[in-house]
Amino acid sequence: MKIYINGEYFDKENAKISVFDHGFLYGNGVFEGLRAYNGKVFKLEEHIERLWDSAGSIALEIPITRKEMVDAINQTLKLNDIKEGYVRLIVTRGGGTLGLNPFECTNPQVIIIAAQLALYPKDLYEVGLDIVTASTMRMPPAALDPRIKSLNYLNSIMAKVEGLRAGCEEALLLNHKGEVAECTGDNIFILRNDELMTPPTDASILEGVTRNVVIAIAKKLGIVVKEIALTRHDIYVAQECFLTGTAAELIPVVSIDSRKIGTGKPGPVTKKLLEAFHLETQK
């Protein structure tokens, strides 16, 4: 495995950054997860745009141009001979002091890792996920805007711990209003009254690239899509439910908090959207 760090490639064992890097010390940095299909990154422009938006929001200047970033991503895929895989793109604040002052940091690190990935076992796409609602609340925008894809994922990790301890691969987070936000790493959709519903961007969610793709696909298929506030009740009584994310793609959810969703099996609309999504990735 060859890992890109600031214009150079290193073997996995030698890919290192300083212990004084604020990305390591404080989670001070941003990242993107990208998916490659047939050697080409899916929705690369959208991911690059979100990376630059996240960096701008935390006053982090990315030390290379967007074109240089794109070229580096493609070269990393090529060097690792990755046709179908995952790319982790990371920009740290750089080395600094043990204090919090980010403006004392120098030399931001740009890191690109390309590897194979299987987030969930294949059979879960056939039988669906069981999830639970976490007591951990989604970070409110007044604390840290969830649209920033930062290196500090402790909020999601604590919810993930709750899910795993309950025997579930995923957990649902509510926002500061008690409304449905998203899961630990994925956006959530439900089908109710034959309409597709998902929390809006002001519901303390990360505006997922895959989320937006699925919304566009659903509209092309003639499915009514509503971005509206949801509560757990809406999920409990939904016909179907699924999650979306770069790594997860689109995965069915068949129960939440020990309540069966719909028939308790992946529904026909979910299957239709997943099939259409896979076609979209091959374009």
Nearest by Cα to 179 from 154, 160, 197? 197
Per-position b or e across 191-228, b if 16+ CB within 10 A of its CB: bbeeebbbbeeebbbbebbbbebbbebbeeeebebebe
**AA identity, residue 125:** Y
Q: Give the angle 267-244-208 at the CA atoms, nearest 5°.
A: 150
Residue 190 class from Cβ within 10 Å (0-12 exposed, 13-18 middle, 19+ buried)? buried
Active site residue 16: no
Pairing state between β 29-37 and 170-174? unpaired
CB 266 within 8 A of CB 127: yes
Which is the catalytic residue, given 2, 43, 149, 160? 149
Alpha carbons 82 and 100: distance in angstroms, whole number = 38
Structural element, H or E, at residue 225: strand 225-227
Pairing state between β 180-183 and 170-174? antiparallel
| DSSP per residue, 57-72 | HTT---SS-HHHHHHH
Q: Which residues are catalytic?
A: 149
